[in-house]
Structure 1
């Protein structure tokens, strides 16, 4: 949300509070009905202002905080991408490396979807797959149709999958349906938003962003109250503003009396 829009929303909320205050000023203290009217008006107007003006700003609070954290830190964040091996993985990685703010790009785990893997083949495949390609460090059979393959840093994922596909079909008759490479991109925290916007569209999918800034945001999300509670608080704030308007003369007289007593004590 734009800063100017946030300011406008907050100003509009304060204008509603000013309306409640001025209405209370015009309400003479002659009976219980006026008192209840001011309380009801303040609560309803406060709820409306909270729902329409404060809640939208509140929803964007984590994003605003993220922007502040990013602009004031020199630490790094890690963006996790998924790239299909059906696309040109090497080109996509090269494109990502050329984005300003990117420190390093490293391909790692590959999720491989296959035809059925029998229980008899499970342990056999896990121990033998590394021999299919020297760039494969290990493999795990996650389910009857899914393999998780770990490869050496700097390896060509597309080439690894090609060789693994031929090897699997030859050895076990199991075919690879598709595979996805997980790529870790280390970037300057202040450049995360810019890097995400410049990622090759349609070629990569952002699955996760991790780092000190994201930890701060998660901590913030866990500590701030629920949005409904904030709206309810705005309702009670409207009540307090209304009461302040009704009893403004009494409040001012009280402050003046306190000020005079303090002066007298200083003189004595």
Structure 2
């Protein structure tokens, strides 16, 4: 929303509150039933003004917060991707490296789905994986899911998958048709939108994101009121304004009496 439009909406809401206040100030000409009606009207107008004028502004608070985080120097975002082994990782790396603000692109591991292992098969894979390749020091065999996860350090996913596929072919006489490659990308917060858009153009969505911008989004989602709650609060503001209007004259008269009382006391 444009800043000028937001200012206009706030002014319009204030005008509505002035209108409610003005109606409530007609208390001397009202019966008690009419005073209750004024309170109801104040709540209704406040809620209506909140729904039409303030709610659109309130809904953009997360965007404003994230926009501030993006321009703060030093803020970073970490994107975690789960890619198909058929993805051209090198091409993706090259495309992202052209974006200013991309600090690192790291292949962190591969997950190879097989089948639900029996106890014997589990023991076999668990003992065989570290012997397939000297780089397979950090791995995990999931018996229930039937997957093998291999962490990568200074080793590419293509090399790791080739080593595993060669071993698998020798022992099971079959190919590895699918595997998942895990990638970690570190970018400056200012480049986050551009990186995200580039990934979307390739049909890739980050499985998770960590960083200043994401934290701002998460905090906004957990702390912001729902639209109904916000409108109800605006209605409460209208109700309070109407109450102030109803008792404004009483307040003014009491204030004048108090001032006269204080002056009299000072004279004596």
- TM-score class, shorter: 0.7 to 0.9
- Pairwise CA distance, 1:203: 4.7
Q: Report what 1:136 is aligned to.
A: 136
Contact 2:78 2:187 in 1 (8 A): yes
Q: Does 1:196 align with 2:196?
A: yes
Matched residues in 2 for 1:232 and 1:76: separation? Answer: 37
Work out the CA distance in 2 between the residues paired with 1:20 and 1:205: 49
How far off is 1:236 after superposition? 1.0
Q: In the aligned structure 1, how far is the partner of 2:83 from the partner of 2:175?
A: 20
The residue that corresponds to 2:165 in the other structure is 165
**Structure 1 residues 172 and 6 mapped into 2: Cα distance closer, same or farther (>3 Å)?**
farther
**Secondary structure in structure 1 of the residue aligned to 2:158:** helix
**Partners of 2:255 and 2:72 in 1: how far apart?**
42
Q: Which moved more, 1:175-184 or 1:103-112?
A: 175-184
Query: 1: CA distance between counterparts of 2:258 and 2:27?
Result: 26
Q: Are 2:236 and 1:236 aligned? A: yes
Return the alpha-carbon distance in structure 2 between the equivalents of residues 263 and 80 of structure 1. Answer: 73
Q: After alignment, is 132-141 or 220-229 more displaced?
A: 220-229
**Is residue 85–residue 179 contact of structure 2 (8 Å, CA) maintained in 1?**
yes
Gaps of 5+ in 2: none
Q: CA deviation at 1:52?
A: 3.9
TM-score, length-scaled by structure 1: 0.81
CA root-mean-square deviation: 3.2
Q: What do the CA deviations read for 1:162-209 (whole angstroms, capped 9, x no partner)?
A: 332232233245753422222111122233223323336225321222
Partner of 2:33 in structure 1? 33
Residues 1:139 and 1:224: Cα distance change in structure 2 (over 3 Å): same
Distance, in Å, in 2 between the alignment partners of 1:175 and 1:51 is: 60
Contact 2:16 2:45 in 1 (8 A): yes
Match of 2:111, SS state, is strand
CA distance in 2, matches of 1:23, 1:138: 74
Q: 1:212 to 1:112 in 2, by over 3 A?
A: same
Distance 1:152 1:44, change over 3 A: same
1:88 is matched with which residue? 88
Greater Rg, structure 1 or structure 2?
2
How far apart, in 2, do the equivalents of 1:90 and 1:193 lie? 21
Map 1:61-140 onto structure 2 (within 5 A): 61-140=61-140
Which one has the bigger strand percentage?
1
Q: Indicate conservation of the 8 Å contact 1:83/1:203, yes or no.
A: no
How many aligned residue pairs are there? 267
